[in-house]
Chain A
Amino acid sequence: MQEHDTSWVRTEMALAQPAPASVRGMGAWVRTNLIGSVGDAILTIIGIALVVMILPQVINWAFINAQWTGPDRSVCATVAQGGIQADGWSGACWAFVNAKFGQFMFGTYPIEERWRPILVAVLFVALLVPMLIPRVPRKGLNAILLFLVLPIVSFVLLVGGMFGLPHVETSRWGGLLVTLSLSFVGIAVSLPLGVVLALGRRSKMPIVKMLCIIFIETVRGIPLITVLFFVSVMLPLFLPAGVTFDKYLRALIGVSLFAAAYMAEVIRGGLQAIPKGQYEGADSLGLGYWQKMGLIVLPQALKLVIPGIVNTFIGMFKDTSLVIIISMFDLLGIVKQNFSDANWATPQTARSGLIFAAFVFWLFCFGMSRYSMYTERRLDTGHKR
């Protein structure tokens, strides 16, 4: 081709070729991600060094030196501390968790009645798992069973006092039972309530809008501890004499309303991200307000804010620990309460108990997080490139 030749015609279209080896495979990944530059390489080396230094100690403490079973504190204490371990021994005291496992799960729920929360847990899992798997049919029926029937059945089973079941005071509930039941009700109530509040806040009706704003801003502006205090200490003052509210129920209401206020703002963020054209498209077809919201706007808005919604769920799940402020013992509360058991008091007890509690919390939160990511991918029809 000449230097100033401006006329040229391609005679054959170029064919697509495989990418060069430098951008494919393991070697390319290491080059770009681990040793991309001098700084990257240094950070990689520091990272590997930290793992090499810390990981063996953790494994040693948590698994190799750990005591898994035992009757009392002696298995987790050195000779000097009145136990059987050699001086200088350090390991996790899983024997403590093992011995107290029932309490961690159910609090002081009577042992002979513990089949009731176990049955509730089994029912819960049996209904939740098919709900979470998209392929399983009959989602509507499943949802009714999970969100309407199960709470009623659980209430009857857990509280008792009818159908020949002995009554169990909610003050005897504790552990994971409290954590999970508070969270489940909180999630099941806060999402629909949050949707209603978010729609209300964007409503054109001034009174509805004002009520929603007042609720959201009031609840959001107050720490959860204060809300819990309020419902447990102050609420009885406003109720007529003789009307008493169960403490657990009060915590349930407090947590649910609190989460709903946060949820409303998360969902409002999603609603704002839906282009006006979607509303107009729905309007132009003659869809009514609820059809437009339920079929067009909310499915898209909720999908957009799945990370925010799950963030709120996870936050609420962990915040249930604050019910300790109204002397209810959730998982963390009951673990901490057991530190003072003289039978198990060793230097390793608190550490082991807290790590166990943290692990259980993490397990549930991580599960929620992974499931939300799966859902996001599944619902992604945008095909954004």
Chain B
Amino acid sequence: MATENAVSAEEIKVNAAKMQISTTDVAIDIIAMHKWYGEFHVLKDINLKVMRGERIVICGPSGSGKSTMIRCINRLEEHQKGKIIVDGKELTNDLKKIDEVRREVGMVFQHFNLFPHLTILENCTLAPIWVRKTPKKQADEIAMHFLKRVKIPEQANKYPGQLSGGQQQRVAIARSLCMNPRIMLFDEPTSALDPEMIKEVLETMVGLAEEGMTMLCVTHEMGFARKVANRVIFMDQGQIVEQNTPAEFFDHPRHERTKLFLSQILH
């Protein structure tokens, strides 16, 4: 898989030039965060600082807590100990703060989670109209802009059920972008897609990365990780086990668990 999408050294340099990572502006700061599901200690001592413009790929075996971790960032899951500060706002039980954070953080799910009773266009304009109070006409224009960007403006008046999986996932990305988020979270965006549709979604994500969006992606697309990530994080048993630049991570993994994991998936 990795060799297929192997990136030349030249390309990496070009990408690095585009990567305008801030050295001072912290987008997400997770400090000594723990989470329990009932008695089960699912996330242990998570420390992660994400700078603005950074693109992070999170991987690890199933059940390692990677999805749970990024779902904590927009409070789809509640953490019990430690701090999560997103865009300068700490996540607590303050519902207003949570909604503020959610407005600035877009999320793309494994199963798209489009609203099946609304058209593609309505899916994209719903949140801008009701949350951002954007006038309908303007919201429509914004939605069409992003639908064009994910290359499916002609589907605007169809319903999600009429689209292929890859198209639905691109709509989901457009729907998030319509809220003009400063951070994007991707929770295994290509895991539920047919092989032929993965590429179109990854291309959209690469485009987004090249524009300097702060991104956290839980994914097993190692080609994508090599191409766009500035950091790969490996999780196991609810903790961060290793993190490094993609080149170092894939070529010289240090932790035993990482080596085992990579040998399993890069056959």
Contact = CB atoms under 8 A, between A and B. Distances in A.
Given A280-B109, A381-B161, A285 B116 contact: no
A381 B131 contact: no
Interface in A226-265: none
B162 A285 contact: no
Interface residues of B, number: 27
Interface string B65-91: 000000000111000000000000000
Interface string A293-316: 001100110010000000000000
A25 interface: no
Nearest to A280: B76
B103 A300 contact: no
B170 to A, nearest CB: 15
Contacts of A288: 99
Interface residues of A, number: 22
A107 to B, nearest CB: 43
Interface string B100-131: 10110111010101111100000000110011
Instruction: Name the residue among A281, A288, A379, A383 with the largest chain B CB count within 10 angstroms.
Output: A281
B159 interface: yes
Nearest to A282: B115
A303 B159 CA distance: 16
Contact of A278 (B102, B113, B126, B176): B113
A382 B116 contact: yes
A299 B115 CA distance: 10
B175 interface: yes
B113 A299 contact: no
B240 interface: no
Instruction: Name the residue among B109, B115, B126, B159 with the largest chain A CB count within 10 angstroms.
Output: B115
B102 A295 contact: no
Given A278-B115, A286-B99, A295-B126, 18 more contacts: A280-B107, A281-B114, A282-B115, A283-B102, A284-B76, A284-B107, A285-B103, A285-B127, A285-B175, A286-B100, A287-B130, A299-B117, A300-B116, A381-B117, A381-B161, A382-B159, A382-B161, A383-B159
13 contacts: A277-B109, A284-B74, A284-B113, A285-B102, A285-B103, A285-B126, A285-B175, A288-B99, A295-B130, A296-B115, A381-B116, A382-B116, A383-B159
